[in-house]
Structure 1
Amino acid sequence: MPRPKRIHVVGSSPRSGTTLAFELLTSCFDIDKFGKHEISLFEYPKEASANYASKKPTDLIHVKRLLAWDKKMHCLYMDRDPRDIVVSQHGSRIGEYWCDFPQWRRNERLIAHLRDHPRIHICRYEDLVMNPDHEQDLILARFPFLAKVHSFSNFEKVSQSSEAAQKALKGVRKISAKSVGTWRSDLPRVAAQLRAHPDMAEAVVAAGYAKDTSWTTACDGVDPDEAQSIRAQYAALRNKRGGALVWGRVQRRLRSFAQEARYALRNSLYR
């Protein structure tokens, strides 16, 4: 039996819309859901007879090599305005910011080398929530093996999201664009990110989210909110310095290479 196809959802950062995209895929297309919420690219069903979808926003770093090794693998990349990402809060940790600008910056650099890949579809969160059915048509055009069973615009009527997904989404509801531009209501957080990462001003423009850097004037005279994000607080290498930091990075890279090597071996044995 031919091995089924997989769509793995990754993102420009956590809070970029990957949960919404994953739930839309598995609710509105005829495709199995692998994992109740987040699961690594390196995990796979023991037995799979139908095409399936999975998601983990931080897996983009592995995608280029895995796409080359695995012709059954496809990726949906969610992009989002980094200003809205840095002010976004997870439903399980209300009152705390989830991540910072550098995560978005790193993944934008990674995806730049993959934008024209035939098995990647790049979806902007803003386009998805403003015109969900049009974005569904674009996904179907890129991944024609999918079969549409419901319209994205009817998501709230057909969703069977897990509890973890519902927390990330802050509840299942009709898709709307209310979350676009929310950075304007949390300027202290944006001001802090700009002060820590001045290149954010130009990056927003380069990504097409602003016409010029005059958008930063909204933060003039605003006292920065220096609260640490959840990702920063729990970063594995957060308190390491000097040789310990270098060794920590080497260990992380070795683990990554080992995971990719096992994936490549499995793919060579099971085609």
Structure 2
Amino acid sequence: MILLAATPIGNLGDVSVRLRETFERATVIAAEDTRHTAQLLRLLEIENRPELVALHDHNEHDRAAALVDRASSEDVVLVSDAGMPTVSDPGFRVVQLAAERGVLVSAIPGPSAVITALAVAGLPTDRFAFEGFLPRKSGERLKTLRTLASERRTLVFFEAPTRLAATLADLATAFGAERSAAVCRELTKLHEEVRRGALSELAEWASEGVRGEIVVVVGGAPATEVSPENALREVQQLVAAGERLKDASRAVAEATGLSSRELYAAVLAARSHTTAAGSDTAG
């Protein structure tokens, strides 16, 4: 099988017993950086010496087929430098091809920068979206952020420390200076830090320079204040444009904070009233 193995994002104490056992019996490990993985095996005092195969962004397309072929007869352990492979890291093409060919894919759960940052940020966790790395250039970054400005879910981003201040400034421009956010730095490491505040405040703080691995968590957009009558009209307009009533009710509810069930019922009631009025007129 293909076995995706989550590795520590900082603290070696987060290595599970299952991961140690997997490393001890592995015959081949596909690694984002073979030198990094070799060092991890040494630090964990793993006596086994598996074959290490480089698998990174530049060669994954070419090497995926060979790794999947090997996985039909032996376990291929796949690791990134930190966290779970395939999540903003190599591995997706291998998993995709394995699924297409009917080769089993499993995972050893473990540390995740995304979930760890979300958990400690102090922002809503019931619904969230992971957006990975934003575009490097400010113009493209702003364009992307403006498409996310009305997103109600908490958003999670990765960012390089050298671009953090500029990204926070662009977030403040696109989302509003007062939108709540958190910058999570060096998670699980000695100098772990979680800085919370408004986007404008965090941008000013980051302008002095920040080091380390960065995850940015941003609160979702506040509900748009709209009257039930206007919300009802929005649902009716979406339905008239071809949306299913259930989907239209849910979409307007998410944007306004109103109940999708009540919007759904209101549309049905309005339809019944219209039908009844038409019958009375006809009579």
Question: Could you say which structure has the greater relative contact order, defined with CA pairs below 8 angstroms and 6 or more residues apart?
Answer: 1
Give TM-score, length-normalised by structure 1: 0.28
Give TM-score, length-normalised by structure 2: 0.27
**Going by fraction, where is strand more abundant, 1 or 2?**
2
Rg larger for: 2
